[in-house]
Amino acid sequence: MARPKSATDDAVYEVLHEAATPLTAYQVLDQLRPHGVQSPPVVYRALERLEKAGRVHRLEGLNAYFACCGRDHAAGTVFAVCTRCRRVEEWSGDGIDRLLEAEAERSGFAVSGRTVEVRGICATCRGEAAAAGGHAPHGHGREPARGHDHDHDH
């Protein structure tokens, strides 16, 4: 019983849309197994179609996919990845595109695509860290110092 491509695409999109963080193709597959999707190529092809359609984006650094925020960005966006909660924000890439165009023109380079991924800590995670007492590394209060722990308080 072959399912139509569009149904697979929608199912894959739903998984990514529900997920708070980017997922690899295998993580998507795991979630779709109960729904009768068993083969990795089926998921890969669906992800490819969704990516072309602009409904999902691929993070090259993590080799993971996430659902587009839905904002109109015919040009590129910048993906800001929080290294703590792994959520992704999409920023406008307009300024960067202008910069790249100028550089490409200067060097006679024909650009076929670009991905800009920014890594860091998002505002939410920074807020949580501050609420948990500033520089506590894990945000869960202070554990008693142990001999082999690095001490950041010098």
Binding mask 85-104 for Zn ion (x = CB under 5 A): x----x--------------
The position carrying tokens 């920074």 is: 126
Examine residue 68 and tell whether it contacts Zn ion (CB under 5 A): yes
Examine residue 84 and tell whether it contacts Zn ion (CB under 5 A): yes
Q: How far is the CB of 96 from Zn ion (least distance, A)?
A: 15
The position carrying tokens 């024909």 is: 110
Given candidates 11, 28, 56, 122, which one binds Zn ion under the rule CB under 5 A? 122
Give the burial class of 24: count Cβ atoms within 10 A of its Cβ; 0-12 exposed, 13-18 middle, 19 or more buried: middle
Examine residue 15 and tell whether it contacts Zn ion (CB under 5 A): no
Examine residue 125 and tell whether it contacts Zn ion (CB under 5 A): yes
Q: Which has the closest alpha carbon to 98: 106, 89, 90?
A: 106
- Segment near Zn ion (CB under 5 A), from 2-10, 20-28, 99-107, 118-126? 118-126
Q: Distances in Å between the alpha carbon of 128 and those of 20, 24, 49, 89, 118?
A: 17, 27, 37, 18, 20
Examine residue 78 and tell whether it contacts Zn ion (CB under 5 A): no
Given candidates 32, 81, 82, 88, which one binds Zn ion under the rule CB under 5 A? 82
Examine residue 129 and tell whether it contacts Zn ion (CB under 5 A): no
CB count within 10 Å of CB 91 equals: 15
Distance of CA 18 to the CA centre of its chain: 13
Where along the sequence are the contacts to Zn ion (CB under 5 A)?
Answer: 68, 82, 84-85, 90, 122, 125
